[in-house]
Amino acid sequence: MKQNLFDTQALRPLAAVVDAGGFTAAAAGLCKTQAAVSAAIAGLERAAGCRLLQRSRQGCRPTPAGEMVVGYARRILSLLDEAAVALETAKPAGTLRLGVPDEGVAGLVASVVEGLARDCPQGLVDLRCDLSAGLEAALMAGELDAVVVVREPGSARGELVFRDRLVWCVPPGREPHLSRPLPVALFAEGCRTRPMVLAALASAGIAWREVCRASHIAGLTAMAGRGLAVTALARRTVPQGWRVLSSGEGGLPVLPDYEAALILPPRPTPLARRLAGLLLGPSRPERAAPPQDPFLR
């Protein structure tokens, strides 16, 4: 037999025709034209020097020679599919340029780095911390391979990683939330949770004054920790010893949820795809923040 008998471009259509019982159904299943499938089978039959399919009004069925070739074809195609899966799941090397807001380092990034270290021991995570808008701009400029950002209200951009609730919190033994105008410590302009907090205060008609602001959670809690102000954080990133205010305490409004999303470029790298697998899993349901999830702004 000629070597090109085992051209996989022809073997797959052959198996498909036998499975489907005809050229039309096989072509539809392969997303090819019927003419292309017919040409592939004709090439196989020329190489084999005999008929591989018996055509009739009832459809197509393999000849004895066809039965033999189809058996080998299935084994070859199975091995090729297995090789493709092995390559896809091979441990990729290289650098993952990952962008997250500052608060993501403590929880989300820690779990990601641990997962990548396990699955991709040759991979390197190059981390950039910034506001969400800055991270999205860097991704579009090709400076990052993947970003996790807080969505703007009403946006469906990216894939949902988790949803969490903002809460009011105060340092231990302090009650700044009882003062008016309300002293608040806020994240800097450009933070996507900042307008959520201010809108909630405006809707409740609460007068407020900004005592301090910071672009990083460590700076914000350090300043607010002097007892000068109340601040809003994700529930699971409230510093140890701080008190989360109960609903309506001090007349403060309930704060909204926010959504953290993963955004990849149109052609993600293997490490970026592995990151998506770690964060999103095989399915992509809406999910509440697990205990280790960080506050992302």
Give yes or no for a contact between 296 and 158, defined as CB atoms under 8 angstroms apart. Answer: no
- Reported as a single tens digit per residue, the pLDDT across 251-273 is 999 999 888 899 999 999 999 99
Buried b vs exposed e over 5-36: b needs ≥16 C-beta within 10 Å? Answer: beeeebbbbbbbbbebebbebbbeebebeeee
Residues of the chain with CATH 1.10.10.10: 3-88
Largest Cα span, the chain: 93
Query: Rounded distance, CA 174 to CA 148, Å?
Result: 34
CATH code 3.90.650.10 for 94-162+260-280: no
CATH code 3.90.1150.10 for 3-88: no
What's the confidence (pLDDT) of residue 89?
A: 59
The pLDDT-based confidence of 284 (bands split at 50, 70, 90) is: very low
Question: Tokens representing 121?
Answer: 């021991």
Residues of the chain with CATH 3.40.190.10: 94-162+260-280, 164-258
CB 140: neighbour CB atoms within 10 A?
A: 12
- Reported as a single tens digit per residue, the pLDDT across 66-87 is 899 899 989 988 888 888 777 6
Whether 283 has a pLDDT exceeding 50, the answer reads no
CB 174: neighbour CB atoms within 10 A?
A: 17
**Beta-strand pair 208-214/257-263:** unpaired
User: What pTM was estimated for this model as a whole?
Assistant: 0.62
Q: Determine the average pLDDT of the residues in 215-233.
A: 87
Query: Rounded distance, CA 108 to CA 98, Å?
Result: 12
- Where do we find the tokens 């270290």? 117
CATH superfamily of 164-258: Periplasmic binding protein-like II (3.40.190.10)
Helix (H, G, I), strand (E, B) or coil at 141: coil
Question: Tokens representing 135?
Answer: 């991270």
